[in-house]
Amino acid sequence: MSIKKLAVYCSSSDHIKKIYFDHADALGALMADNQIDLVYGGGMVGLMGEVAKSIKNHRGKTIGVVPEALRIDGVVNTIDDELIITADMHTRKAKMIELADGFIGLAGGFGTLEEMLEVMTLKQLGYHEKPIVFLNTDGYYNSIFEMFEHIYAENFAKAEYRQLYHICDTPEAAIEYLESYQPPDLPDKWFI
């Protein structure tokens, strides 16, 4: 499976540790070097802005997808090759999913987590077979993965659904996984 466009979900906050920015910068450089276009929320702040800036600095391509309500000067990036304005957040998320060949979650807040869980759920239900990667910078997502294990242990999801997503500690490992990705053979969702 060839990854040409990667949706990156991540923080829009500038008030986070430097290591998160370092990984966003490294991911952007690797994406550009591997001719992988960025599909993202179109923000110029936080990790969103860092990934986009890095890709542009390495002559890569960026596609920002922004809902009309968040089309705010000083927030929306002005460096994108393409800017898509949508009617609302639901349309924005659907457009990003449609455009992307895969998904990666960098550190982020509620929005990032919600977007990652949505693409995982859609994959679980058979709507797509695209790769999903958590870039677990500095162990950021460890508590979430513990919750996932609790979900499996309590039979709210089958343990085989660990195959829905992949966990990496470095941008290099994430790109390596994406380049060699083959869709898993997932079981039927229902416990029957």
Identify whether 145 is part of a domain. yes
Which domain range does residue 136 map to? 5-177
Q: What pLDDT was estimated at residue 192? A: 56
Q: What pLDDT was estimated at residue 92? A: 97
Identify whether 186 is part of a domain. no
Identify whether 190 is part of a domain. no
Q: What is the pTM of this model?
A: 0.96
Identify whether 182 is part of a domain. no
Given a contact cutoff of 8 angstroms between Cβ atoms, the answer to whether 177 and 131 are in contact is: yes
Identify whether 188 is part of a domain. no
Identify whether 191 is part of a domain. no
Question: Cα separation of 145 and 140, whole Å?
Answer: 10
What is the residue-level pLDDT of the chain in tens, covering all 192 positions?
A: 799 999 999 999 999 999 999 999 999 999 999 999 999 999 999 999 999 999 999 999 999 999 999 888 888 999 999 999 999 999 999 999 999 999 999 999 999 999 999 999 999 999 999 999 999 999 999 999 999 999 999 999 999 999 999 999 999 999 999 999 999 998 887 765
- Count Cβ neighbours within 10 Å for each residue of 124-135 and write b for 16 or more, e otherwise: beeebebbbbbb
Give every CB contact of residue 167 below 8 A, 6+ residues apart in sequence. 133, 134, 136, 141, 145
Q: What pLDDT was estimated at residue 63? A: 98
Q: What pLDDT was estimated at residue 191? A: 64
Q: What pLDDT was estimated at residue 74? A: 83
Identify whether 50 is part of a domain. yes
Given a contact cutoff of 8 angstroms between Cβ atoms, the answer to whether 3 and 178 are in contact is: yes
Q: What pLDDT was estimated at residue 85? A: 96
Orientation angle between helical segments 110-124 and 89-99, nearest 10 degrees? 60
* CATH code (residue 24): 3.40.50.450
Identify whether 192 is part of a domain. no
Q: How many domains does the chain have?
A: 1
Question: Cα separation of 15 and 73, whole Å?
Answer: 20
Q: What pLDDT was estimated at residue 155? A: 94
